[in-house]
Amino acid sequence: MKPSVIPHAEYQRLLLDRLRQHYGNGTAVLVRRDWPLIWKCFITDLSYTSSFLGPFYGARGSAPRDPASMLRSYLLFLLVRPEIGITAWVDELHRVPLYAILSGFEPGDIPGVGTFYDFLSRFWAAEENSLKPRNKPKKSKPKRGKKGEKAPTSSPGKVKRLVEFLMRRGISPRKQPFDRLQQFFQSQIVAVSAKIGLLGDLNALTLAGDGTPVVTAAYPRSKPTCECSAQGLAPCSHRRAYSQPDCDSGWDSARERYFQGYHLYMLSAANSQHDLPLYPRLQPASRHDAVSVVVSSMEFTQRFTLGTVDKILLDAAHDAEAIYQWLEHQHMEPFIDLNKRKTKPAATETDMTISPAGVPICPIGKEMKLNGYDRTQNRQKWRCPLACKSGNSCPTPCSDAKYGRTYHTFTADNPRLFPKTSRESEAWKAAYKRRTSVERSNKREKVDYKLEAGRHRSTKMWYIRIYGIMMCQHIDAWYLHYKSELEPLQTQLLQRMA
C-alpha cells in the first residue's frame, strides 16, 4: 500500500502534544541537553519523503510506516548513538520514550529492525547491494606511502590516460544506484542550506575536495570459485567471490598501516562557515586522490542543479597537469598546491628561468614581481622587482626601459605552473586557505558521527550511512542558524507543559 503524506505541521503538533503528555505531568523531565535534539527534529521538514519514495511501495498490502518518521528516526540514531547498530537503536526506542516521540512514533508502537532495513533499501536504485560483481581477481596490496603522504598511484600516467579518454569520448551521464540518495539529499537538504545562505554564492560556488580512508574490515573476505585448493594446486590465479567486492586494500598514511575498505572522496562547500558536504563518492581503498577527483567532479557537475561551480580547491596530491586540463574542461578554476618534490627549475627560450613555484627568475637570480593577469590573452604579467620601486636600482639592468624588464607567462603553455590566479597573489592565498574545510567535514563524519562504526557488509548500507551523516551535518548547521530564534520558544513551551 502506498504511504500517505503527513504534513510537517501535523508532525510538529503531535510532537508537542506527546511531549506535554509524557513530560508535562512531572513523572519525567527534560534536561538541557535534550532541547537541541528536540529543536533539530522540530525544524527539519521530512514530509516529502513519503512522496519521494511512494513509487517504490506496492499498491496493495497493509499500510506502511510513515517514511518521514522512519527517516527521522534513522537520522536521530546518527545524532544520538552512531556507535551502535540499528538493532540496538530499536531497543533504545523502546527504552527511551523521548526518542520514539521525536521520531514520530507513539511510545510502545515501535517498528522492528527488518522494517528499518526494508525502508532504507528503497533509497537504493538497484537489486544488487554492491557496485561491482562479487567475483573478481585477487588484487595485491598497493605500495606504502611516506608519513603524511598518499600512497603513489598504481600505474604511472593513469590520470592522463583517463582524462584523455573522457575528453575524447565526451561525458555522458551514467545512472548510479545511489542517485536516489543524492537526489533526495540535494532537493530536501542542500537546497534548504542554500536558501538560508549557508553555502556561499551559488552563482560562483567554491568546492573543496579531499579523500579519506574508511575502514570496513580487518582483512578481505572471499571464497574460491574453483577447486584448485582441494586438488592441492593453491595458490591459483582464478577469480574469488568477495563479500565486499567494492572494497580492497589501501595504505593509510596517517596511521601508517594497511587497511581494508573504501577511499571516501568528499566534495564540500569551501565557503560555508559550517564546512557543509555536498557530494560523497566511495572508491576502492587503493585509488589515488588524483583519480578520484576526476570521477567525483564529473559526476557532481552532472547531478548538481542548484548553482554553478567557479573554483575547486585541492591539495598537492592532485598536482598533475592532466587534472588542470580536466577541471578547465569542466569550467572550474583549479587552485592546487604545488607538489614541490616533483618540480624542478625550468629553462625558457630566453635568459629567464622558471622557479619550481612558477615564478620567472631574472638573469641575476631575482624573482620577478607579479603585475596582474591579462584575461584577454590568458597571460600573467611580471615586472623586474628592482624597477617596481622609484627608479631602476639594478646594477646590471637587462632592459633599457625605465619601466624595467617585463615578462609574460601564458596559462596555455603550462596551466600547472602558470594558473589564471597566480599562487603569488593575495587572491590565491585568500581562496586557498579555505581548502581545509573539506578536512574538517571529513573529521566530523569519521570522528563526531563515527562513520567507521558501521558494521555493514554492503556498499548500499555504507552509502545510506554516509548520506545520513551528511544530512545530520546540515541539520546541525540549521539549528545553529536558528538558535537565537528558538530559545524564546523553549521558554514558552516549558510554561505550556507545566
What confidence score (pLDDT) does residue 341 get? 67
Mean pLDDT of 339-351: 70
Tell me the mean pLDDT in the region 382-406: 76
- pLDDT tier, 390 (very low <50, low <70, confident <90, very high otherwise): low
Residue 151's pLDDT is: 63
Q: How confident is the model at residue 29 (pLDDT cuts 50, 70, 90)?
A: confident
CA–CA gap between residue 320 and residue 25 (Å, rounded): 66
- Which cell numbers in the block locate residue 56? 517504490
Cα separation, 76 vs 449, whole angstroms: 12
Buried b / exposed e over 238-253, threshold 16 CB at 10 Å, is: bbbebebbbbbbbbbb
pLDDT, residue 161, reads 92
Q: Is the pLDDT of residue 343 over 90?
A: no
Q: Burial, 79: exposed, middle or buried (Cβ in 10 Å; 0-12, 13-18, 19+)?
A: buried
What is the structure's pLDDT at 111? 96
What's the mean pLDDT when you consider all of the chain? Answer: 89
**Cell numbers that stand for 451 in this block:** 562513520
What is the pTM (predicted TM-score) of this model? Answer: 0.90
Cα separation, 142 vs 260, in Å, equals 11
pLDDT > 90: what percent of the chain?
Answer: 57
More confident position, 421 or 154? 421
Strand duo 222-224 + 240-242: pairing: antiparallel
Q: Which three cell numbers stand for residue 74?
A: 534513522
| Per-residue pLDDT tens over the stretch 118-131 | 999 999 999 999 99
Cell of 325: 586540463
Task: Dump pLDDT digits (tens) for 213-270.
Answer: 999 988 888 888 888 888 888 778 888 898 899 999 888 888 888 899 999 999 999 9
Spatial contact of 235 and 247, defined as CB atoms under 8 Å apart: no
Would you place residue 176 in the very low, low, confident or very high pLDDT band (cuts 50, 70, 90)? very high
Mean pLDDT computed over 16-36? 84
DSSP one-letter string for 394-436: -SS-S---TT--EEEEETTT-TTTS-SS-TTSHHHHHHHTTTT
- Of 283, 288, 277, which is closest to residue 317 (Cα–Cα)? 288
Exposure class string for 271-298: b at 16+ Cβ within 10 A, else e? bbebbbbbbbbbbbbbbbbbbbbbebbb
pLDDT at 41: 96
At 23, the pLDDT band (50, 70, 90 cuts) reads: confident
Q: What is the model's pLDDT at position 392? A: 66
Would the pLDDT of 340 be above 80? no
pLDDT of the residue at 139: 77
pLDDT, residue 332, reads 95
Q: State the cell numbers at 30.
A: 527534560
Q: Is the pLDDT of residue 386 over 90?
A: no
pLDDT band of residue 112 (cuts 50, 70, 90) is very high
The percent of residues in the chain predicted with pLDDT above 70, rounded, is 94
pLDDT value of position 339 = 84
What pLDDT, on the 0 to 100 scale, is given for residue 345? 66
In this prediction, residue 141 carries a pLDDT of 74
Of 425 and 83, the one with more pLDDT: 83
Please tell me the predicted confidence (pLDDT) of residue 224: 86
Using the predicted structure, report yes or no on whether residue 336 has a pLDDT greater than 70: yes
Name which residue leads in pLDDT, 49 or 317.
Answer: 49
Whether the pLDDT of residue 91 is over 90: the answer is: yes
Q: Which of 3-17, 99-113, 273-287, 354-368 has the lowest mean pLDDT?
A: 354-368
Going by the DSSP 8-state scheme, the letter that residue 150 receives in this structure is P
Closest CA to 362 of 385, 343, 339: 385
Within 8 A by CB and 6+ apart from 168, the residues are: none
Order of strands across the sheet that contains 346-347? 346-347, 353-354, 360-361
Q: Note the pLDDT of residue 27.
A: 67
Residue (of 306, 86, 68) closest to 182 by Cα position: 306
C-alpha cell of residue 51: 512522496
Q: Is the pLDDT of residue 496 over 90?
A: no
Cβ neighbors of 328 (< 8 A, separation 6 or more) are 334, 415
- Strand, helix or coil at 472? helix
Evaluate whether 426 touches 420 at the Cβ level (below 8 Å): no
CA distance 226 to 464: 34
My answer on whether omega of the bond before 345 falls inside 30° of 0, hence cis, is no
Q: Can you tell me the mean pLDDT for 129-142?
A: 85
| 257-266: pLDDT as tens digits | 889 999 999 9
Asked whether residue 152 carries a pLDDT value surpassing 70, the answer given is no
Backbone angles phi, psi at 7, to 5 degrees: -55, 150
The pLDDT, as a whole number, for residue 433 is 95
- Closest C-alpha among 443, 209, 182 to residue 326: 209
Instruction: Supply the pLDDT for residue 347.
Output: 67
pLDDT the model gives residue 77: 98
Question: If pLDDT is split at 50, 70 and 90, which confidence band does 26 have?
Answer: low
User: What domains are there in the chain, each with its CATH number?
Assistant: 8-122 (no CATH), 135-337+434-479 (3.30.420.10), 344-422 (no CATH)
State mean pLDDT over 367-371. 85
Q: Stretch 6-13: mean pLDDT, rounded?
A: 95
Q: How far apart are the first and last CA of the chain?
A: 41
The per-residue pLDDT for 154 is 61
